[in-house]
Structure 1
């Protein structure tokens, strides 16, 4: 399976978590108004802004991966990524709380959310609100970013993050338009599964860095460069 297909399905299944966590932000685009073509367009522009931010992240992350590839650090980068994801998964699984990290995260989120509120109801402001939404902390985004950083070029990383964003789009649009109606029937607590996804992703990156020459699971990473990620 292409790395980009993997990105799309990662976003598609991860959007369950995103829809639950970001539900209030999605509904805020409409407020208490009746749905009109203008509001519908604003909802779409909001999502476009969010996905564009993911793509910009992809370019930056790809440069890191490209540097690692040139320097022959791709194996080490994959192993490091796997260890970090595994640790995050175990911390969440055993509910090890870090008050310092939580406070730091809230200090970042609050001003961004406040700025989003300022833009949200301005003409065309939903696009900029979506751009800001793309930088909010998110567990699934962290995993996508880790995968994007392990690609072979900034262009591939850009495509990876765009495909991840497009994968999240269907369910988030459904939540955005149907809002409270679908939330009444959508009670799956996806958050409890997130630590296991972190752990699985961590194991996958560790296997990838182990250079076992197993197709898809642990492909051969040459020391002089990263595995080629075909865009098909």
Structure 2
């Protein structure tokens, strides 16, 4: 699995972060306000401003490191245990073709979800609620998030929040067939979400209003939808478009 083949997952995270802004933007934005506030003379407050900004940035980055780390752990499990096991099954090629179709259909569903055209993907989130019900109480012990260590731990827990977009990426991680490949898929996806969530953490609600615009969500959904449709066309052997084949999910043996 090369860097170019990971581009669809990075792009899905990048444009899909309009959804992340709604789910995680609030807690990430609160990190910049988490440090205890005290009354200081104006001169001292101005002098301390750079240090306070640096501390807020450290907490935001720590949170996202923990979050992406959990994505990678889930991807390794999906690719190593599920994908690796499926690959060992006799006559696995038909199963792999079916899985590739399903993965691309998940991308189509994600595109429609981002466009607010169909919410069927949200139903998958109920599958993760049992695990989240066990983890959520632990998050309260980490509040207030006044140190990077707490932010790292909270991000690691928050990475398991039920999310249809993450689940659609885990399907692709499973198809990698290895723990390393699954972790790489989720790393690419997580890095794609990073710009929006870091900006959200540093500048509060300024970005959140932008991500709620209909035009932004429509453009993001159309891009993810195009990846899924391209993958479905390639998997069916309907088109051969050279190097663009690296930008979609295709089963083994498909023309390159």
Which category of TM-score, normalised to the shorter sequence, fits these structures? Answer: 0.7 to 0.9
The structure-2 alpha-carbon separation of the partners of 1:54 and 1:175, relative to structure 1 and needing over 3 Å to count, comes to: same
Correspondence 1:53 to 2:70: yes
Mapped contact 2:70–2:160 kept (Cα < 8 A): yes
Q: Which residue of structure 2 lines up, in the alignment, with residue 116 of structure 1? A: 139
Q: Which residue of structure 2 lines up, in the alignment, with residue 210 of structure 1? A: 236
Superposed counterparts of 1:13-162, under 5 Å: 13-31=15-33, 33=35, 35-63=52-80, 64-70=82-88, 71-72=92-93, 73-83=95-105, 93-94=117-118, 109=132, 112-121=135-144, 123=147, 124-162=149-187
Q: Which runs of 5+ in 2 are unaligned?
A: 38-51
The CA deviation string for residues 127-172 of structure 1, in whole angstroms up to 9 with x for no partner, is 1110111111223322322222222432122112112111211121
Structure 1 residue 115, shift from structure 2 partner? 2.5
Superposed counterparts of 1:190-209, under 5 Å: 200=226, 202-209=228-235
Mapped contact 2:110–2:121 kept (Cα < 8 A): no
Q: Which runs of 5+ in 1 are unaligned?
A: none
SS in 2 for 1:144: helix
Mapped contact 1:212–1:220 kept (Cα < 8 A): no
The structure-2 alpha-carbon separation of the partners of 1:84 and 1:143, relative to structure 1 and needing over 3 Å to count, comes to: closer
Aligned length: 224
Q: TM-score, normalised by structure 2?
A: 0.68
Mapped contact 1:76–1:209 kept (Cα < 8 A): no
Q: CA RMSD in A?
A: 3.8
- For residues 160 and 239 of structure 2, what CA distance do their matches in structure 1 show? 35
| Structure possessing the higher radius of gyration over alpha carbons | 2
Structure 1 residue 194, shift from structure 2 partner? 7.2
Q: TM-score, normalised by structure 1?
A: 0.74
Q: Which residue of structure 1 lines up, in the alignment, with residue 194 of structure 2? A: 169
Mapped contact 1:207–1:218 kept (Cα < 8 A): no
